[in-house]
């Protein structure tokens, strides 16, 4: 029985594209793997404390850090909702990363997380794709790919619904068709990736 660790970090519980796409991923996962387990953390509703000196010194012996690290190590796959806020990830997601990554325990050679597939839903109000005017402001995918692979050795894949503000900002009205296409593709990708991953882990 495979276990999926699902993290959401969008501030708003409704109307969040990242939450809607991660929910679609979980639905497809459950359909493909009904006996699997889903462990859920809403980092916005129940934020974790920022890392402090005592927690750093304690490492995996710190009760919270030990719990989070064990939860991550036990997961066969991880799903992260990571909307772009001010060109980067939500502070609540950064707090989880700071707490869960423990050098000498799960970060570095021999990490128990090595090879774990991680799917990140990296939604954003505009477009930061290669070749766009704001390409150099993209710090969500770049950061998460480096920290999750470089420190934990995870296998990272991204779903990127973009232009999510097109329907609410008049100056972006001409981009609505592209926004709708990106949203549709994100839901398609979520379903396909969830089914493929569930089948792979069940094999």
Q: What are the tens digits of pLDDT across the range 165-176? A: 999 999 999 999
Dist. CA 5–CA 104, nearest whole Å: 22
pTM for the model: 0.95
* Residues near 165 by beta carbon (within 8 Å), at least 6 away in sequence: 125, 126, 172
Does residue 203 carry a pLDDT above 80? no
Q: What is the pLDDT of residue 33?
A: 85
Spatial contact of 128 and 137, defined as CB atoms under 8 Å apart: yes
Q: What is the pLDDT of residue 1?
A: 80
pLDDT band at 59 (very low <50, low <70, confident <90, very high): very high
């Amino acid at each position: 029985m495979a276990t999926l660790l699902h993290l959401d970090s969008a501030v708003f519980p409704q109307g969040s594209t990242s939450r809607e796409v991660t929910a679609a991923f979980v639905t497809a996962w459950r359909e493909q793997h009904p006996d699997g387990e889903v462990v859920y953390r809403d980092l916005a509703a129940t934020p974790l404390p920022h890392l402090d000196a005592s927690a750093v010194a304690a490492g995996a012996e710190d009760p919270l850090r030990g719990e989070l690290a064990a939860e991550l190590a036990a997961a066969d796959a991880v799903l992260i909702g990571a909307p772009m806020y001010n060109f980067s990830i939500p502070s609540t997601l950064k707090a989880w990363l700071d707490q869960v990554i423990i050098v000498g325990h799960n970060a570095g050679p021999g990490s128990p997380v090595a090879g774990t597939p991680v799917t990140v839903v990296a939604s954003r109000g505009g477009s930061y794709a290669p070749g766009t005017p704001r390409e150099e402001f993209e710090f969500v995918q770049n950061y998460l790919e480096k920290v999750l692979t470089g420190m934990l050795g995870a296998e990272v894949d991204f779903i990127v619904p973009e232009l999510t503000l097109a329907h609410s900002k008049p100056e972006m009205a001409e981009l609505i068709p592209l926004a709708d296409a990106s949203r549709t593709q994100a839901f398609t990708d979520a379903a396909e990736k969830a089914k493929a991953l569930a089948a792979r882990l069940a094999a």
